[in-house]
Amino acid sequence: MTRLNMKIKFTYKDYKSLPESETKRYELIEGELIMVPSPNEYHQRISGRLEFILRAFVEGKNLGRVYDAPFDVVFSKEDVVQPDILFISKARSKIITKEEILGAPDLVIEILSPATAERDRTYKKTLYARHGVREYWIIDPEEKTVEVMTLGKAGFESSGVYGKMDTLKSTIFLGLTINLSDVF
């Protein structure tokens, strides 16, 4: 007897037809449906503090919009993610709809967890570069670091790794400095 090893490829339409859940979040990467576990308390504290800082800066200067998960970012019918935090510039606000973001945010921030670290550092990094995300921050709560990467011709290039006692600067937000001791 021959066994067929078939993988089911999901589309955004399939993804949208899943029952809503208060406890489960999903992402779609290359047609594979991936359950994303709920973040822990420390993850949420980091996310909340950083989002507050970014939102105050962005809204104060009328630069665009800051969102946090869960909010779908649709890159294609087989690639749909929910970054922890994202920024869309005012000039690109047309990609924002009531239900999702249709295209690449200017900035994506992912906060690592044991369940997502490898995917955030590999698949998502490649996905975000391929679709034109200008800047990608990977936050490691255990190490208390933020790696800032900017999009170059060959993908993302590291602009620096910042620790808890450092001041982070972004190429997207001119004039913004973030004391990471306020985040961690």
CATH number of the domain at 62, please: 3.90.1570.10
Q: Which amino acid is at 114?
A: P
- 172 within a domain of the structure (yes/no): yes
154 in any annotated domain:
yes
Look at residue 32 and tell me if it is in a domain.
Answer: no
* Structural domain span for residue 94: 38-182
What is the pTM for the complete model shown?
A: 0.91
Instruction: For residues 18 and 128, give the distance between their C-alpha atoms in angstroms, rounded to a whole number.
Output: 24
Taking only the tens of pLDDT, the chain with its 184 residues reads: 555 556 778 888 888 887 776 656 889 889 988 888 889 999 999 999 999 999 999 999 999 999 999 999 999 999 999 999 999 999 999 999 999 999 999 999 999 999 899 999 999 999 999 999 999 999 999 999 999 999 999 999 999 999 999 999 999 999 999 999 999 9
| Residue 162 maps to a domain | yes
Q: Please, what sign has the CA dihedral across residues 164, 42, 174, 131?
A: positive
Report the domain count for the chain. 1
